[in-house]
Structure formats: C-alpha cells, structure tokens
Structure 1
Amino acid sequence: MRMKLSLFLVFLIAFIAGCSDSTAKEPEKITPKKTDLILATTTSTQDSGLLDVLRPAFEEKHNFNLKIIAVGTGQALEMGTRGEADVLLVHAPAAEEELVKSGDAINRQKVMYNDFILIGPAGDPAQVKDLSLPEALKKITEIKAAFVSRGDDSGTHKKELELWKKTDIDPKILGKSYIEAGQGMGATLQIASEKNGYTLTDRATFLAQKKNMPETEIMVKGDESLLNIYHVMQVNDEKHDKVNAAGAKAFVQFMIEDDTKKIIKEFGGDKYGEPLFFLFE
C-alpha cells in the first residue's frame, strides 16, 4: 500500500511540474505608447524632401510620432506663440529672436544654411542674369516684368521684403506684374514658371523642383545678403502647458547630433549633384 501511495505521489508531483512548465510564460515586454510631437516648420524643409529623410530617422531613435506642419515661417512662429506646436524649425532669425525674448521659445540652436537665389525664365526678359541683386530688382521694375512673391509672411517673404527695402524700391510699382501667391515655395515656383516671371526662392526647393520647370534658371546667386540660416527651438512648456517638452527637447538634440548632421550634409548630393543644405563648422 505504501509503495502504491509513493508511486502515486511521484506521478502527481511530476504531473503538476509538467503543467507548470507548459503554462509558464515569459513576462510580456510593455512598449511605452508613442506620443505625438508637433513640428511647425517652413515649407522649404518639406518641399526639398529633407524631412522625408529626417522624420523616420528621428522616430527610429525616439518614442514619438513626429507630426509635421509645413507653413510659412511667420505662421510657424505664430503657432509657437500660441503654444500650438511643440518644436519649431524655421529661417527668419530676427523674428525668431523676438520669440525667444518673449519667452515663448527656448533652447534655440543653429542647424544649417543654404542660400536664397533669384530665379527667372531662361529668356531673361529683364536681362538680370549675373547682376547684383539690387541691379536685378531695379531692372525688373523698369520693364515691369512679372515678379511672384510668396506673400505669406514666410521666411522667404520676409527676406524678399527686406531686399526690396534695401534697394529703395517699392515692389508695388510693378502693379499687376507683382503677384502675391500667398502659398508655399513649391507652388510659388510653379506660378513664376507659368507667368514667365521672376521670384526669390531658397536654393534647396528650387533644385528639388527644377525638373518641373525646365525653362527656369538661376539668375542671381552668391550675394552675401542672400544667406539663409535655419534654427531649431523648443516652444517653452513653462509658458504653454500643453507642449510636449520631452519630445521637443529630444528633437532639438536630434537636429544637432553628428548622425543627423551627416544626413543633412549628404542630402541631395547624389540626386542634384550638390547638397541642398550646408552645416556651420
């Protein structure tokens, strides 16, 4: 009887152990839920294709969904002022400094630069190719050639108005030939091409869109006044409590890391024969 009881207990223990082994599971790894991070930026970073490369690189490193709102720099800065974005990538230094002074933005970092260029129809009706920028603007107004302005308070629009002012010319004297697009850079370039007109653009967007406007060429470049500098900055969470502060800080840091700089430095070189953006040494 004792022998039978002992055997029964041995089998029972083995059975329980087997059941325990078969039902044991590895503890599930809990992946933190991704939160949205709103980036307000200029259309040039979107139209050039740069953000199509940077977004997946950022999301692979960080647990955030990067939501990109590409508008004129003026609108992007206004979103920062209202706390409607978490982080800004823009190119209007004077306006950016005002945002920092007001306390709406913090942690402003210089990222990259390219340049503005004056482009126009290959036939060059105003004969401005390779002139200085003030001379080119003067000749455009003299013959009332079509000039298409962004007209949207973007960084490019701010630069254009600044350049007209420095030249002591009111572009309104062009009358109907001065066309205010009120749109992004890509659309403005298309309108300039269709109107056989001139416009100011950042080089990156022009090179990215050049295939769509084969009869449009660079007229004026290299002028010191045409430097186009981009900064990234956080919207201040102490002033705007809905800001994703952790995500904004992570994006600013991402934009100045060596790996990101390498992406920016090489972007466009294989496709356009030259990089679209440059880094500060």
Structure 2
Amino acid sequence: MLAVAVLGPGAAAERTLMLATTTSVDATGLLDVLADEFKKDTGITLKWIAVGTGAALKQARDGNADAVIAHAKKLEDEFLRDGFGVNRRVIARNYFMIVGPADDPAGVSGAASAAEALGRIKSSRAPFVSRGDKSGTHIRELDLWALAGGRPEAAYLETGQGMAETLRVAAERRGYTLTDTATYHGLPGLSGLKPVFEGAPELENIYAVIAVDPARIPTARYTEAMTFIAFLTSPRGQKLIGEFKGKSGRPLFEPLAARPGVDLVK
C-alpha cells in the first residue's frame, strides 16, 4: 500500500541555498550577518562550506554547492569556461598586504612594490609562511613570487591551512605572510605581526559570487542562487557589506556591485 504524506498549512519544505565560500567572508562574521538578513528578506536559509577558493570551486564542480563566493579571477574564469558557473557578479573588495615581525628584519616596509617586498624577504632568508592551499590568497602569493623571481627554497613554510591559522603560525615563527586585510584586522591576538607592505595596486582583492549552472549540475538550486546574487548586489546587500565591521571596529569590505566597470568577466 502506498503511503502518502500530507503536509498541512505552513509545512512546505524549507528553501535552502548551499554556498561554497572563501574563508575570509566567514571568518570575519560577514556571512552570519548576510545569512540572517537574507533569511528575513526571502525565507531562504543560507548554509555554507568555508574553504579556500580552489576548494570552494571544487565543491561546486562536485555538485556540493549552489553558488560560490571566490576571490581568484584566474580560477573563476576557468570555472566559467568549463561550464560549471554562470552569472558571475563582483560584490566587494579589500586588499592583500604583507605582514611580518614588528621590527621588520627584512626591511620590507621600504619596498616600492610587492615583488620587491618579497624579494627582500627572500634575500634576507627571513621565514615566509604560505597558506599552500590553492586558495585565492595562495594563488595571488604565487603570482607575486613569480614577479619576484621565484619563491625561496629555504625558510618557506606551507601550512595547508586557512588564513587565520596561517597568521598564527607566522606570528609564532616571527615570519612574514600575505593576508587579506579583513582577516588580519578581524583576528585578535596577533600582537607579534604588523602590516609592513600594503596599499599597492597589485594587492587589490576582488570578491565575486557565481551561480552554479544547472545545465551542468542538475541538482543545483539555480533560483535560490540567483535570489542570493540579487540580494548581494542590491543596495540593501551592498549596504550590509559596506557597513560590516565585525570585531575589528573598522569596515572590512568595500562594496563594489554598484560601480560600473568593476565586473571583470571577459
């Protein structure tokens, strides 16, 4: 005998959206704020997996996410070209910076460019701590090392961990590392590290959201993903991003969606 479940009024299945995201928007607490407001506005529950950008895009390729927040244009372009993603939209930016010991033994603070800064670290044989996890930060770090003539063979440590843990290791080792400004300023207890090189154009860090293409991943919740993208790029979503300060007491992300010319889709 066939059993049929009868749902009463208000018992409709909960609408959810699974997001694979870079760690910085999670570690700072921004996603908690966005999830609460998104739920209020749409009734959709946002769930997420916070990993490096490379791993986040792999989660989406494997059918484990409906949308992605990433910050590595090279990897995002590949994801789009391979047919896994659609409707990429820029949502925010901050900057990368190099942090290191307060006494700056490599003299990084006097460098004219990020490549020169890394070159000074390499020449001084000071420790450099890398995420080594194919995240957006790791990809940018490798690009900068290439401009500096290649990464050092000695005194180079890969943690294989997220930004927060990598910063803690750098502080323990009195080493240098590349970090996004949001995670650094939002993480307490890093008194041994200070920014030693920042503000250069090549350190711009752009965040984008991408919907998973249901033509490639039939289980992807495309309607919910596009609802989330519309929320993030709306004046309300952009205001939430721009005003978010977390525990740092300072804005951590600059909203970008409303600015013409910032969406870098080719």
TM-score in terms of structure 2 length: 0.89
Which of 170, 173, 187 is the matching residue for 1:195?
173
User: 1:100-179 counterparts in 2 under 5 A?
Assistant: 100-131=80-111, 132-168=113-149, 170-173=150-153, 175=154, 177-179=155-157
What is the aligned partner in structure 1 of residue 248 from structure 2?
Answer: 272
CA distance in 2, matches of 1:268, 1:30: 36
CA contact (8 A) 2:92 2:254 kept: yes
Bigger radius of gyration: 1
* Cα deviation digits, residues 146-190 of structure 1 (max 9, x gap): 10001000000000000000122x2242x2x10100000111111
Q: Distance in 2 between matches of 1:222 and 1:245?
A: 37
Structure 2 Cα separation of the partners of residues 44 and 62 of structure 1: 24
Verify the 8 A CA contact 1:267 1:276 in the aligned structure 2.
Answer: yes
SS of the equivalent of 1:34 reads coil
Q: Does 1:252 align with 2:232?
A: no
Distance 1:233 1:138 in 2: 35
Alignment partner of 1:241 is 2:184 = no
Report which stretch shifted further, 257-266 or 131-140.
Answer: 131-140
Amino acid at match of 2:30: L
Partner of 2:185: 207
The 4+ residue runs of structure 1 with deviation greater than 6 A are: none
In structure 1, the partner of 2:49 is 69
Contact in 2 for aligned 1:130/1:221 (Cα 8 Å): no
Once the 2 structures are TM-superposed, how far is the Cα of residue 40 of structure 1 from its aligned partner? 0.2
- Whichever residue aligns with residue 147 of structure 1, its letter is F
Q: Percent identity?
A: 41
Please state how far the C-alpha of 1:130 moved relative to its aligned partner. 4.0
Distance (whole Å) between structure 1 residues aligned to residue 240 and residue 43 of structure 2: 20
CA RMSD of aligned residues (A): 1.5
Cα–Cα, structure 1 residues 171 and 112, in superposed 2: closer, same or farther, change >3 Å? same
For residue 129 of structure 1, give the secondary structure of its aligned residue in structure 2.
Answer: helix
Specify the SS of the correspondent of 2:120.
Answer: helix
- Alignment check: 8 A CA contact 2:174 2:192 kept: no
Is 1:84–2:64 an aligned residue pair? Answer: yes
Do structure 1's residue 42 and structure 2's residue 27 form an aligned pair?
Answer: no
Task: Tell me how far 1:273 sits from its aligned partner.
Answer: 4.8
For residue 199 of structure 1, what is the amino acid of its counterpart?
A: T
CA distance in 1, matches of 2:67, 2:18: 7
* Contiguous gaps of at least 5 residues in structure 1: 1-27
Name the SS for the 2:108 alignment partner. Answer: coil
Aligned position for 2:4: none
TM-score of the aligned structures, taking structure 1 as reference length: 0.85
- Show the counterpart of 1:186: 164
**AA of the residue aligned to 1:53:** V
Distance in 2 between residues matched to 1:57 and 1:273, nearest whole Å = 20
CA distance in 2, matches of 1:258, 1:276: 18
* Paired residue type of 1:72: G
Partner residue, 1:5 = none
Contact 1:151 1:181 in 2 (8 A): yes
Query: Counterpart of 1:263 in structure 2: which amino acid?
Result: L
1:94 equivalent to 2:74? Answer yes
Q: d(CA) in 2 for partners of 1:247 and 1:39?
A: 11
Q: Which has the higher helix share?
A: 1
Q: Once the 2 structures are TM-superposed, how far is the Cα of residue 252 of structure 1 from its aligned partner? A: 1.0
Shift of 1:67: 1.2
Distance 1:236 1:53 in 2: 26
